Structure 1
Amino acid sequence: MTHVTRAVPPAQPRPTLAGTTVNTLKIVVVGGFGVGKTTMVRSVSEIRPLHTEEVISGAGRTLDDPSLIRGKSATTVAFDFGRITIDESSVLYLFGAPGQERFWFLWERLFAGTLGAVVMVDTRSLSDSWYAIDRLEHHGTPFIVAVNDFGGPFHSDEEIRGALSIGPEVPLVEFDARDHSSSKFVLIALVEHLYALSVREAEKADDQEHSEHG
């Protein structure tokens, strides 16, 4: 697993898009309740992110137990949204999906037009990310797994992959969702994974064409 620690301070935000922007890329961040999706979007977005967090009510506490997550008093009820400029022509839009089961119906729409996804996991509750992985595989959406560092029990790469039933072809990284540079590294890892997949598909198509034309 690749480890990322805190490094340089966040870059200065850029509030407006360049007039030359022509490519917009959509990335979704998914995972269980309280895994840090909102925190990641906030830390990496170059604009003030849009979020739909609400204080957990008494009724909500019967559905989502915040006692399992220290300091958790609010929850995302729709999605988080942030933006990152890649270069003068390309911009990445980042959507953080709600983690509670009762909001999973929103995921289907969030997945539409998605280039790839980050599955965030907490080693204290790895099973909370099973549904996210299942939905992404169902949609055929490429993804990487990012382990948010909560200081929980240590798990080896093999243990995490085994618990999530993912193979070595899926990148696995560890990061700190509160840190801009660390969160940015996760997105870079996803983009590199998507690029590698596109190259592989192009080579496969080229080989098939050559074999058909002998």
Structure 2
Amino acid sequence: MKILAVEDDALTLALLVSSLGEAGHEVEQAGDGHTGLTLACGRAHDVAVIDRMLPGIDGLELVRRLRAAGVQTPVLFLTTMGGISDRVDGLEAGGDDYLVKPFAFAELLARIHALARRPPLGRVETVLHAAGIELDLVTRRVSRSGQTVDLQPREFSLLEFLMRNAGQIVTRRQLLESVWGFHFDPKTNIVETHMSRLRAKLNSNGEPDPIGTIRGAGYLLHALMA
């Protein structure tokens, strides 16, 4: 079994690597959240054991980003934070199990084996491509024809929704609900304003506009550009 261990305490990490290795498992290790995120997204693992308190990005945010990117590797949180609310936070962030330190290795191993027995949900691509645009859901970087495009968070979310629906017309109502969380029309030009800014940034190098306005219907991101 291939296991990812993300733990900033050197002694605990060494124990995990050594003990899991002796149990016959291949262990990949990281001592901070950013490295753990990169490894979790870049390689397939059967289970990830992740500490809650990590430098860089903490364990909760790490798992949230994994789940947002579609990575479904089972996650066991390993932490000193054992309160009910802490456990709830861990599970709601996308964790699958929660073990409080100090722990017995036999219990850790049993929980890992239980997670590994769950039917695999598969891995989803973490990078979207359409119309010469590349959008990385993990690093939150966007580029067009190899040139970086700097977007604000709402612009990123708007482009992500368009790219997930590339080649299909999306309505203003869909954008308000999915990007802004509005289930009513705020009677403002919020969509049009952000769409204009997004277009300006995507087309800053003089390339054709990849977003079409369909009068009376909505917007369409062309899946391919000539």
With the length of structure 2 as denominator, give the TM-score of the two structures: 0.41
Structure with greater contact order relative to length (CA < 8 Å, sep ≥ 6): 1
Larger Rg: 2
With the length of structure 1 as denominator, give the TM-score of the two structures: 0.43
